[in-house]
């Protein structure tokens, strides 16, 4: 198994992804980890700790930020990854609302996806992620039913969702709950 959690047998079988813990350093090529892990500033007469500037929101092409809630039903695991998507005109942040763990599958921005660069991460439920504009990713993978996420992304004109399909059985996500 490589350091990124990808494994390919001696034969040309499927690429198997095993999520690694979600850390800011490991996720940096794909975007930001959103968590209250930095030194807070105390505000509101000492009643509030303010953790600021946790993610860079990117908006291009005349769009505007939008805030949504997604309710996500878990996938069956192991999961055959059929496609990854990207949003070239803006970042996309997912923040769990109810301390529910989730899985992340990502690949670096670019016109092509190199299988060796695909990574999987396990979010603790107290962390969110912010995909940089153009980062390839699977739709959020909930582990408990249902899971809700606050989503901050781009709303506006222009084509802002590309999909990259994978052949049947070529990419498998494994995870032990």
* C-alpha dihedral sign at 145, 148, 154, 156: positive
Nearest CA among 161, 156, 160 for reference residue 65: 156
Residues 4/20, Cβ–Cβ less than 8 Å: yes
User: How do the pLDDT tens digits run along the chain, 177 residues long?
Assistant: 333 456 554 557 899 999 999 999 999 999 999 998 768 989 999 999 998 889 999 999 899 999 999 999 999 999 999 999 999 999 999 999 999 999 999 999 999 999 999 999 999 999 999 999 999 999 999 998 899 999 999 999 999 999 999 999 899 999 987
Q: HSE, CB side, 13 Å, CA atoms: give it for residue 96.
A: 25
All domains of the chain in start order, with CATH: 6-173 (2.60.120.480)
64-72 and 92-96 strand pairing: unpaired
């Amino acid at each position: 198994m490589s350091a990124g959690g990808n494994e390919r047998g001696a034969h040309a079988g499927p690429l198997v992804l095993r999520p690694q813990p979600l850390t800011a350093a490991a996720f940096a090529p794909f975007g930001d980890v959103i968590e209250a892990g930095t030194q807070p500033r105390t505000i509101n007469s000492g009643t509030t700790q303010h953790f600021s500037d946790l993610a860079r929101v990117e908006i291009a092409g005349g769009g505007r930020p939008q805030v949504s809630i997604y309710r996500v039903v878990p996938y069956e695991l192991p999961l055959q990854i059929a496609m990854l998507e990207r949003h070239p005109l803006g970042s996309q942040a997912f923040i769990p609302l109810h301390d529910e763990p989730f899985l992340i599958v990502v690949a670096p921005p670019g016109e092509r996806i190199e299988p060796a660069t695909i990574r999987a991460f396990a979010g603790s439920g107290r962390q969110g992620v912010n995909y940089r504009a153009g980062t390839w990713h699977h739709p959020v993978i909930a582990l408990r039913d249902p899971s809700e996420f606050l989503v901050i992304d781009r709303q506006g004109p222009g084509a802002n969702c590309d999909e990259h399909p994978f052949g049947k059985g070529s990419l498998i996500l494994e995870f032990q709950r």
